[in-house]
C-alpha cells in the first residue's frame, strides 16, 4: 500500500489518541456534555450514518455481505451494519477510538489499523468523515487503496469544498487552537471523482448532508 506521507498521519493518530479522542467521544456519544456546535455536529453525523445505511440497503439485503468500515471511530456505522447482518471488519488508526465500541448481537470485528495497511477484499468498503483529516494529495492514494479493497462499491464522505468560505469560519469555532492536528481539509467533488476515475471507478450516487456546522458530501462509487 502507498504510504500516506510523513507528518499528517502521525499527527492525526496522536490527535485521535488524545485531545481528539476526548472531543469526538463526546460528540459521538449520547450524553449532554456537549456544546451547541458539538450537538449540531452529532446530529449531522447521525444523518450521514442514516443516509449511508439507506444507500447500502436500497441495493438489497446486507445479510452475509462483507463490509470494511475504514476509520470506524467509535463504531457508529459498524453497529447498525452488523445489526443488518453484514460481516463487518471495522478498523481505526486510533486505539482509543477503537476501544470505545459498543457490544451487539452479531459483533463487528474491530481492530486498530490505519486504512493504508488494510488488505483483503470486501464486497463494500465504507470510509466516513476520515478524508477531512488529509489534504487532497494524500487523499488520492487513500481513495485508490480503498477502491482496491472493494469488489462492488465504495462509500465515502468528505467535507465539500463548495462551502469553503462558509465552512472556514465555522471550522475556526470547531477546531480551535494552534495544533496542526486540528486542521480540517475540504475536498472538491471533482478531485474525488478524478481520484476514483484514475483507478477505474465512477460515482453512482450522491448525497449531501448539512446542518448548521456540519457539511458532508456522501458518494457511492462502483467499478466503471
Ligand atoms: N468513520 C467514523 C464515523 O463516521 O463515525 C469516525 C469518523 S472520525 C471524524 C475520523 C476517524 O478517522 C477517527 O476515528 C480517526 O482515528 C480515524 N482515522 C484518521 N486517519 C485514519 C487513517 N489513516 N486510517 C484509519 N483511520 C483513520
pLDDT given at position 167: 62
**How much is the pLDDT for 175?**
61
Instruction: State which residues form the domain around 208.
Output: 6-223
Q: What is the complex's ipTM, to 2 decimals?
A: 0.99
84: alpha, beta or left, given left = phi > 0 and alpha = psi -120 to 50?
alpha
Rounded to the nearest angstrom, the distance between the alpha carbon of 58 and the centre of ligand 1 is 25
- State which of 1, 93, 213 you would mutate to test the pocket of ligand 1, scoring each by most atoms of that ligand within 8 A of its C-beta: 93
The answer to the question of residue 1 being in a domain is: no
Please choose from 3, 47, 133 the residue to mutate so as to test ligand 1's pocket, defined by most ligand atoms within 8 A of CB: 133
- Round to whole Å and give the CA distance between 139 and 4: 8
The pLDDT score that the predictor gives to residue 127 is: 98
**What whole-number distance in Å separates Cα of residue 61 and Cα of residue 113?**
28
How confident is the model at residue 7, as a pLDDT? 73
Check pocket membership of 97 for ligand 1, CB cut-off 6 A: yes
CA distance 56 to 67: 10
If one counts every other C-beta atom within 10 angstroms of the C-beta of residue 166, the result is: 10
Ligand 1 within 6 A of CB of 218: no
pLDDT at 80: 94
Residue 130 inside a domain? The answer is: yes
Cell 456537549, residue? 34
- Structural domain includes residue 69: yes
- What is the pLDDT, as a whole number, of residue 105? 54
Q: Give the tens place of pLDDT for each residue, 62-111.
A: 999 999 999 999 999 999 999 999 999 999 998 887 676 655 456 788 88
pLDDT of amino acid 203 = 98
Q: Would you state the pLDDT for residue 182? A: 57
> CA 122, 197, 171, 76: dihedral to nearest 10 degrees?
-10
Task: Output the domain CATH number for residue 213.
Answer: 3.40.50.150
Residue 206 lies in a domain: yes
Ranges under pLDDT 70 in the chain:
1-6, 98, 100-106, 163-182
Residue whose C-alpha cell is 459498543: 102
**Cβ of residue 44 lying under 6 Å from some atom of ligand 1:** no
| Distance from C-alpha of 164 to C-alpha of 94, rounded to nearest angstrom | 28
**Are 47 and 217 spatial neighbours (Cβ–Cβ below 8 Å)?**
no
Is the minimum distance from the CB of 12 to ligand 1 under 6 angstroms?
A: yes
Domain tally, the chain: 1
| Composition of the chain by helix, strand, coil, percent to 5 | 45, 25, 30
Q: What does each C-alpha distance from 172 to 35, 86, 166, 184 come to in angstroms?
A: 15, 38, 11, 10
Amino acid at each position: 500500500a502507498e504510504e500516506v506521507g510523513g507528518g499528517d498521519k502521525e499527527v492525526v493518530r496522536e490527535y485521535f489518541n488524545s485531545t481528539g479522542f476526548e472531543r469526538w467521544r463526546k460528540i459521538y456519544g449520547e450524553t449532554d456534555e456537549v456544546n451547541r456546535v458539538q450537538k449540531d455536529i452529532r446530529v449531522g453525523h447521525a444523518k450521514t450514518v442514516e443516509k449511508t445505511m439507506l444507500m447500502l440497503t436500497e441495493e438489497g439485503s446486507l445479510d452475509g455481505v462483507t463490509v470494511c468500515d475504514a476509520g470506524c471511530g467509535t463504531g457508529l456505522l459498524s453497529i447498525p451494519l452488523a445489526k443488518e447482518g453484514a460481516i463487518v471488519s471495522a478498523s481505526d488508526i486510533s486505539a482509543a477510538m477503537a476501544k470505545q465500541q459498543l457490544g451487539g448481537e452479531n459483533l463487528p470485528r474491530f481492530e486498530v489499523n490505519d486504512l493504508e495497511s488494510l488488505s483483503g477484499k470486501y464486497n463494500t468498503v465504507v470510509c466516513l468523515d476520515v478524508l477531512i483529516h488529509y489534504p487532497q494529495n494524500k487523499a488520492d492514494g487513500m481513495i485508490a487503496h480503498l477502491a482496491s479493497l472493494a469488489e462492488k462499491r465504495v462509500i465515502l464522505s468528505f467535507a465539500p469544498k463548495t462551502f469553503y468560505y462558509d465552512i472556514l469560519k465555522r471550522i475556526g469555532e470547531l477546531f480551535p487552537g494552534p495544533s496542526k492536528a486540528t486542521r480540517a481539509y475540504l475536498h472538491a467533488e471533482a478531485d474525488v471523482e478524478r481520484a476514483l476515475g484514475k483507478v477505474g471507478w465512477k460515482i453512482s450516487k450522491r448525497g449531501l448532508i448539512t446542518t448548521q456546522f456540519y457539511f458532508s458530501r456522501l458518494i457511492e462509487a462502483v467499478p466503471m
